[in-house]
Amino acid sequence: MYGAGDVRVVNAPDPTLIHPTDAIVRVTQSCICGSDLWPYRDMAATDEGQSMGHEAVGVVEAVGKEVTKVRVGDTVIMPFAYSDGSCDFCAEGLHTACMHGSFFGYGGLNGAQAEALRIPYADGTLFPLHAKIDKALWPSILSLSDVMGTGHHAAHIARVAPGRTVAVIGDGAVGLCAVIAAKRLGAERIILLGRHPTRTVLGREFGATDIVAERGDEAVSRLMELTAGQGAHSVLECVGTEDSMVSALNIVRAGGAIGRVGVPHYQSIPAGQTFVKNVIVGGGPAPVRAYIEELLPDVLEGRIQPGRVFDRTISLSDAAEGYRAMDRREALKVLIAA
Amino acid sequence: MYGAGDVRVVNAPDPTLIHPTDAIVRVTQSCICGSDLWPYRDMAATDEGQSMGHEAVGVVEAVGKEVTKVRVGDTVIMPFAYSDGSCDFCAEGLHTACMHGSFFGYGGLNGAQAEALRIPYADGTLFPLHAKIDKALWPSILSLSDVMGTGHHAAHIARVAPGRTVAVIGDGAVGLCAVIAAKRLGAERIILLGRHPTRTVLGREFGATDIVAERGDEAVSRLMELTAGQGAHSVLECVGTEDSMVSALNIVRAGGAIGRVGVPHYQSIPAGQTFVKNVIVGGGPAPVRAYIEELLPDVLEGRIQPGRVFDRTISLSDAAEGYRAMDRREALKVLIAA
């Protein structure tokens, strides 16, 4: 990306192993993330450009000499953050706080919207798939690299549990995956706040029991009406704007929890309102690497189908069109197939 | 209280039953709370005055005709909030969000720094003690009406658990009870941030393994040094000032949790810093009514001694002197004995 709205597909040198813990992965599928749309909308023009993309599945082409868990030829999931797999935080399952980790597509590291890329800490980062996987499952496998794990993180932080009333804010791909996660964790009622009928229809298929299409104060009133004036035990904030966070704070039930996974484009959370209501606010970059183990069996056995959020498939050469379509909401989430 | 610094002990009409769910309790012990010092410092002068106090133990003198669980002659703990005991929130143990409840000493309701007071929803509010209790245990029993339950709430919200490193911010009575709570929940390391030696000594006796007497940035540096640069898994914020909250945010470990119980005298919590670190921020008015059942056995069997936070006992007629002594930090927490 060379600036807002300026996506180019360019030839780049083939990635090479730099550290002995690196691997090179040939990307078979990647995709465009809602968070990629922020720079698409407001990035200052640059000559150097920024390599984009942080979600992929692919095949290992080469490994450094200290790589032991991942082998050439392995099919792997590449989570959006790389992580050494051995520090205290990785050991605890918070790979996004890895002491040696960071995010793909930042700090000079290549992004995954590419034919191939270098993976730091391959053993800690990549999740090898040893089973033979049906072609139809690939989009759902790809979703474990970010969007499904992110929806799960929102649900986990917001303490979704059997019997709970859950509100999901946002009918984008993360919000829809959050619906899947809430259903999977046993929520009794799942209220999806979203105003795009093609998306909320999918939300219903994923398990949403109610749709609130109103916005702002009207959405809050409607949700309170649906919950006998109490609000939702768990609010999954999957947008990241000031408005969505205000709604989250207004609809969360006293003693409830808000799981935030939309990258915050607001400055602060009110200290008094959350205190009086004894509300828990948590969330951040999802440690999707840790969640793959939990979510993968449900994908492989067809119990969840997060890959359905991909409603358009393009080739890498059409990346600019993919961004355009997502930005204009013509596509929900775009898959880039090799 | 008739204004900042203006505490008077005045004759008031004897409380009477108003609703059939009321009880009248003769107060045997009450106390002064750190939160009582806020109006003591900044309340505008009034002619009517504000009845003060929200922590008490006492004996039931009269009950309304719909009161069935509490009987005349029962010795009871009076939590700082009254609650109907039957709404959805009370059923879930969040009595401070009771749909019909509120706090003593607010909205025209009398406070507990008195000879007697009316208790709304006596069945839901009061905790009757049917055992005969040794005199030495009374201060600890009294602490269950607020300060010990509040410290426990901070620890509970901040997810204190065996093996965790805990930081307690504040060496006031709540902070010291938070140390007790952290120890009781199995924390491996308890770092108390406080700079009053007489209090931190008690903190050590309660279980603090380290004391950080520095303030502000220096306190943060010291704590990071003590935790190998990672910070504390659980931060128990027991002060409520902007400075204490800034410290809490700076010392919490990625993936950790902050339990806030100091009434917030700051406006907001930074949205980005908490997101990047995947930190959970929670807390509010502690549902101490729910915690009595969990904490009482430990008090009765002497495993915890929160009553040690009371370092001065006065009679009701000396209330003004009690406020003065607490405000000047000559006393940690003042008990008012009938």
Average pLDDT over residues A169-194: 98
Question: Measured between CB atoms, which of A257, A263, A278 is closest to B285?
Answer: A278
What would the pLDDT profile of A20-64 be if each residue is shown by its tens digit?
999 999 999 999 999 999 999 999 999 999 999 999 999 999 999
Give the pLDDT of residue B130. 86
Pick from A54, A58, A48: nearest CA to A23: A58
Cβ within 8 Å, pair A267-B266: no
Q: What percentage of chain B has pLDDT greater than the value 90?
A: 96
pLDDT at A123: 98
Percentage of chain A beyond pLDDT 90 is 96
- Best A89, A249, A268 member to test B by mutation, with max B CBs in 10 Å, is A268
**B89, B272, B281: residue with CB nearest A255:** B89
CB-CB neighbors (< 8 A) of B278 in chain A: 94, 96-97, 282-285, 287
Q: In this model, does residue B37 exceed pLDDT 80?
A: yes
DSSP class of residue A6 equals -
Task: Give residue-wise pLDDT tens across range A242-256.
Answer: 999 999 999 999 999
The pLDDT of residue A102: 93
Q: How far is A122 from chain B (nearest CA, A)?
A: 23
Chain B interface, Cβ < 8 Å to A: 88-89, 92, 94, 96-97, 157, 230, 245, 254-255, 257, 260, 263-264, 266-272, 274-285, 287
Residue A193, beta-bridge partner list: A169, A212
Range B4-21 average pLDDT: 96
Asked if residue B284 lies in contact with residue A283, where contact means CB atoms within 8 angstroms, the answer is no
**pLDDT tier at B146, thresholds 50, 70, 90:** very high
pLDDT digits (tens, 9 = 90+) for B237-270: 999 999 999 999 999 999 999 999 988 999 999 9
Q: Is the pLDDT of residue A108 over 90?
A: no
Three-state DSSP class for residue B292: helix
A142 vs A53: CA distance, rounded Å: 13
Distance CA A103, CA A255 (A): 33
pLDDT tops 80 at residue B107: no
Residue A56: per-residue pLDDT = 98
Chain B CB contacts of A278 under 8 Å are 94, 96-97, 282-285, 287
Q: Does residue A227 carry a pLDDT above 80? A: yes
Q: Comparing C-alpha atoms, which of B258, B228, B257 is closest to residue B245? A: B258
pLDDT at A106 over 90: no
Q: Which DSSP category does A126 fall into? A: -
Is the CB of B280 less than 8 angstroms away from the CB of A285?
A: no
d(CA B106, CA B46): 15
- Residue B322 has a pLDDT of 98
Give the pLDDT of residue B184: 98
Subunit contact B285:A277, Cβ cutoff 8 A:
no
Select the residue from A152, A274, A279, A291 to test the B interface by mutation, using most B Cβ atoms within 10 A: A274
Number of helices (H) and strands (E), helices first, in chain B? Answer: 12, 16
The neighbouring-strand residues paired with A260 are A237, A283
A314-329: per-residue pLDDT in tens?
999 999 999 999 999 9
Spatial separation of the C-alpha atoms in residues A42 and B90, rounded to whole Å: 48
Q: How many residues does chain A have?
A: 338
Which ipTM did the prediction report?
0.95
- Mean pLDDT confidence for B15-38: 96
Mean model confidence pLDDT for chain B: 96
Q: Is the pLDDT of residue A159 over 80?
A: yes
User: Per the structure block, which two tokens stand in for B150?
Assistant: 């509040």
Write out chain A residues lying below 8 Å of B268, CB-based. 267-271
Task: Give the model confidence (pLDDT) of B202-241 as tens digits.
Answer: 999 999 999 999 999 999 999 999 999 999 999 999 999 9
> According to the model, what pLDDT value does residue A288 have?
98
> Do A263 and B275 lie within an 8 Å CB cutoff?
yes
Q: Calculate the dihedral angle through the C-alpha atoms of B193, B198, B203, B204, rounding to the nearest 10 degrees.
A: 100
With 80 as the cut, is the pLDDT of residue A107 above it? no
User: What pLDDT shows up at residue B131?
Assistant: 81
Token pair belonging to B27: 């107060």
Residue in B230, B271, B277 closest to A88 by CB: B230
- Nearest CA-CA partner of B109 in B53, B36, B41: B53
Q: Quote the tokens at residue A255.
A: 């003693």
A258-284 tens-digit pLDDT: 999 988 999 999 999 999 999 999 999
Instruction: Please name each of the domains of chain B with its CATH number.
Output: 23-146+287-337 (3.90.180.10), 148-283 (3.40.50.720)
If pLDDT is split at 50, 70 and 90, which confidence band does A109 have? confident
Above 80 in pLDDT, residue B106?
no
Please state, in angstroms and rounded to a whole number, the distance separating the CA atoms of residues A65 and A293.
Answer: 26
The answer to whether B295 and B148 have CB atoms below 8 angstroms apart is yes
- Note the pLDDT of residue A65: 98
pLDDT averaged over every residue in chain A: 96
Residues in chain B: 338
Using a pLDDT cut of 70, give the percent of chain B over it: 100
pLDDT reported for residue A149:
98
Question: Which pLDDT value is given to residue A130?
Answer: 86
Instruction: Sort out which chain A residues have CB atoms less than 8 A from B272's CB and list them.
Output: 264, 267
Tokens of B172: 């006031």
Give the distance from residue A157's alpha carbon to the nearest chain B alpha carbon, in angstroms: 8
Cβ contact A54:A32 at 8 Å = no
Average pLDDT rounded to a whole number, residues A5-19: 96
| Contact state of B280 with A280 under an 8 Å Cβ cutoff | yes
Count of CB atoms situated within 10 Å of the CB of B250: 18
- At residue A110, the pLDDT reads 86
